[in-house]
A and B are shown apart, each in its own frame.
Chain A
Amino acid sequence: MAQGMLQRWTTPRVALDKTSVRLLTFASFALPILVWCLVSYVPHIWHPKVEITDPGGVSYFREGTLVDRAVFEIELEKKLKADPDAPAETLPQGVPANPVYLPAPHEVVTAFYTAFTTPPKRSNEPWLHESLWHSIQIIAWGFFWAMFFGIPLGVMAGTYAAASQLIEPFTEFFRYLPAPAFGALAVAILGIYDAPKIAIIFIGTFFQMVLIVAATTRKLNIALVEASLTLGCKGARMIRRVILPGILPDLYRDMRILLGWAWTYLIVAELIGTSSGITWFITQQARYKNFDNVFAAILIIGLIGLITDMILARLGKRLFPWHTGK
């Protein structure tokens, strides 16, 4: 059986059995976590620092601070030279440690909880859940406006060659302009609050969306369009009755992929004007060297993305029962 499984794994483009799917999905998360655990808990895989447990008379050592391993060894050497017979208790002591920016898994796991329960430093600052909610709103609005303009333009470009020729060359050019580069401009025009952030999400996804939707529309089987023509359907009715429903499952998949892109633009968008949302939380926590909270926040973004995508994928299967291909 194991051999059969292995054979499946190494045959190109063959669907996996259920066990393999579960096993590999689990491994896909377990392997990176395992590496993280090894680096965190097994001494000297990395551990370039030493956490001082006893200063042992070294003037600048404090209990609990991290020093480079080399520095610690030099100080230890010095002490031993000065007094080779010094008892072990009087020497500086410490345990191998990783830099503060790599917290151990258990610290991050607790941070998942504590990050939500820690009150903000100042009363007018938002809690983590408020920051998250703010980020989600920025994404939702930016993506909504991108879809509002992007889908109609893309469908037009994919349907009519003339529309394609009018819309796509400029879009093709504009999509190479990095969205963050418009940050300063967006602030100058739209102020320092949410509007410029929404604009950055919009710029980051809209142009790609037009091109992707146009390509998706063009991929619609031309025979369906021709069949509808011979059945007396044309013009705007054809778009509504044939083209839109025909591309809907693929359009839905495109939106799922683009929504992922929107999240990658979020961080830049939130640094523009007054820093806000999850990005504000992350930078703030990094400033206080609470890297466990930083990791927790980053992972929360990943989880939100993964979970929404999974929900949307499930929903897609229900919405488009005729769509047998993925």
Chain B
Amino acid sequence: MATPSSLKKWTTPEIQDRNERILKRPKALNIQGLDKSFYHKGRAVKVLEDIDFTAYKREFVCVVGPSGCGKSTLARLIAGLETIDGGAILMDGAETKGPGPDRGMVFQSYSLFPWMTVKKNVMFGLVEGGMSKNQAEIEALQWIDLVGLDKFAESYPHQLSGGMKQRVAIIRALANQPKVLLMDEPFAALDPKNRLKMQQYLLEIWQNIDITIFFITHDLEEAIYLSDRILVLEANPGRVKEVVSVPLPRPRADDTLLSEPFLATKAYLESLVHPVEEKQIDMEDKLSMVRMVPVDSEVPDIF
């Protein structure tokens, strides 16, 4: 897992030091030789093969890879929502069995309980964990306050915007104090401005509590901006291609998205995720089809 040469020059001693310190922390999540197949019309299709990966305490890990490489499946396996074919997933050294509150999950589709108010949604996990209603309410309101939704504590999810729903989904998971928070493309449905705001929120919260975040995205910039290390998967079957340490200081500078190390990391990830340029689809061929469609003569040819 050596730093690739193209990124080496950006890895300053401080960053190097920080990255090494992370790897010395206790293991929060330990994936060992994980295999997973799905059965499609009686034929097994291998989705994940021999995944080995460790996330350390309070680390922010992003997972990227081509579409269909099994990122979501990996998150669901960790959460215990799918059964493991081979290998093991360990939390704090103990093998996981089925879903549990130590692994929170935030889904792309929010998955808030529509019949509960924002407050009740956030209280849900707390009450399930055995906390008294009053105590759960106090804690829930603190979380709601933290993400600026105090005015909406008594609103139902359908009355909220997408970004607000996602904030509720995140604090609902966080309030439960999971050791690992799994997030499957949580911001994919948001517009760029809201997404950036949510990313900043998330970093803020993450820096202030004891939690390991396992964040799936297909947005490479998002991955670089957020994470300490990036797990790059390859497809068919899904395997670990590389684990890249991000050569950027924390906290991220405001102009980090335009900085040279950022762009170099992005270029490098790009080359990993889309190795050989996918065969150029012959656009000419397809265009000839389009040309067969008569163009309305009143529309001037603008090209």
Which residues of A pack against B, CB within 8 Å?
221, 223-224, 226-234, 237, 241-242, 245-246, 248, 320-324
Nearest 10 CB-CB pairings of A with B: A232-B101, A231-B125, A229-B99, A227-B111, A230-B105, A223-B111, A322-B156, A232-B128, A233-B128, A245-B115
Pair B115/A230 contact, Cβ less than 8 Å:
no
Cα distance, A228 to B125, chains bound together (Å): 8
Cα distance, A101 to B17, chains bound together (Å): 98
- Chain B min CB distance to A174 (Å): 33
B103 at the interface (CB under 8 A from A): yes
Pair A224/B81 contact, Cβ less than 8 Å:
no
Known contacts A232-B176, A321-B156, A322-B157: A227-B115 contact under CB 8 Å? no
B104 at the interface (CB under 8 A from A): yes
Pair B156/A231 contact, Cβ less than 8 Å:
no
Cα distance, A124 to B173, chains bound together (Å): 68
Pair B103/A246 contact, Cβ less than 8 Å:
no
Pair A224/B99 contact, Cβ less than 8 Å:
no
- Chain B min CB distance to A175 (Å): 30
- What residues of B have a CB within 8 angstroms of the CB of A237 in the complex? 128
How would you classify the secondary structure of chain B's contact residues: helix, strand, loop or mixed?
loop
Cα distance, A230 to B173, chains bound together (Å): 8
- Chain B min CB distance to A160 (Å): 15
- What residues of B have a CB within 8 angstroms of the CB of A321 in the complex? 156
Pair B81/A232 contact, Cβ less than 8 Å:
no
Known contacts A226-B111, A230-B105: A324-B81 contact under CB 8 Å? no
Pair A322/B158 contact, Cβ less than 8 Å:
yes
Q: Which of B126-180 contact A (CB under 8 A)?
A: 128-129, 156-158, 172-173, 176
Pair B128/A227 contact, Cβ less than 8 Å:
no
A231-B176, A233-B125 provided; 6 other pairs, C-beta below 8 A?
A226-B81, A228-B128, A229-B98, A231-B124, A231-B173, A320-B115
- What residues of B have a CB within 8 angstroms of the CB of A229 in the complex? 79-81, 98-99
Cα distance, A223 to B76, chains bound together (Å): 11
Cα distance, A233 to B157, chains bound together (Å): 20
Q: Which of B70-85 contact A (CB under 8 A)?
A: 79-81
Known contacts A229-B81, A231-B128, A322-B156: A248-B104 contact under CB 8 Å? no
**Closest chain A residue to B109, Cβ basis:** A223
Q: Could you list some 11 contacts between A and B, CB below 8 A?
A: A226-B105, A226-B111, A230-B80, A230-B104, A231-B104, A231-B176, A232-B176, A245-B115, A320-B115, A321-B156, A323-B115
Pair A221/B111 contact, Cβ less than 8 Å:
yes
Pair B124/A233 contact, Cβ less than 8 Å:
yes
- What residues of B have a CB within 8 angstroms of the CB of A232 in the complex? 100-101, 125, 128-129, 176
Cα distance, A245 to B103, chains bound together (Å): 24
Cα distance, A301 to B182, chains bound together (Å): 56
Pair B113/A246 contact, Cβ less than 8 Å:
yes
Contact of A230 among B79, B109, B114 (CB under 8 A): B79
Q: Which of B98-123 contact A (CB under 8 A)?
A: 98-101, 103-105, 107, 109, 111-116
Listed residue (A231, A233, A237, A321) with the most chain B CB atoms within 10 angstroms of its CB: A231
- Chain B min CB distance to A239 (Å): 13
Pair B115/A248 contact, Cβ less than 8 Å:
yes
- What residues of B have a CB within 8 angstroms of the CB of A324 in the complex? 158
Cα distance, A231 to B105, chains bound together (Å): 8
Pair A230/B103 contact, Cβ less than 8 Å:
yes
- What residues of A have a CB within 8 angstroms of the CB of B81 in the complex? 226, 229-230
- What residues of B have a CB within 8 angstroms of the CB of A320 in the complex? 115
- What residues of A have a CB within 8 angstroms of the CB of B124 in the complex? 228, 231, 233, 241
- What residues of A have a CB within 8 angstroms of the CB of B173 in the complex? 230-231
Cα distance, A88 to B137, chains bound together (Å): 94
Cα distance, A227 to B124, chains bound together (Å): 11
- Chain A min CB distance to B161 (Å): 15
Pair A246/B107 contact, Cβ less than 8 Å:
no
**Closest chain A residue to B102, Cβ basis:** A232
Contact of A322 among B100, B111, B115 (CB under 8 A): B115
Pair A227/B105 contact, Cβ less than 8 Å:
yes
- Chain B min CB distance to A226 (Å): 5
Cα distance, A232 to B178, chains bound together (Å): 10
- What residues of A have a CB within 8 angstroms of the CB of B105 in the complex? 226-227, 230
- What residues of A have a CB within 8 angstroms of the CB of B101 in the complex? 230-232
Q: Which of B48-88 contact A (CB under 8 A)?
A: 79-81
Cα distance, A324 to B129, chains bound together (Å): 30
- Chain B min CB distance to A316 (Å): 13
Known contacts A231-B176, A232-B128: A246-B111 contact under CB 8 Å? no
- What residues of B have a CB within 8 angstroms of the CB of A245 in the complex? 113, 115-116
- What residues of A have a CB within 8 angstroms of the CB of B98 in the complex? 229
Pair B99/A230 contact, Cβ less than 8 Å:
yes
Cα distance, A232 to B104, chains bound together (Å): 9
**Closest chain A residue to B107, Cβ basis:** A223
**Closest chain A residue to B172, Cβ basis:** A231
- What residues of B have a CB within 8 angstroms of the CB of A228 in the complex? 113, 124, 128
Pair A242/B113 contact, Cβ less than 8 Å:
yes
**Closest chain A residue to B125, Cβ basis:** A231
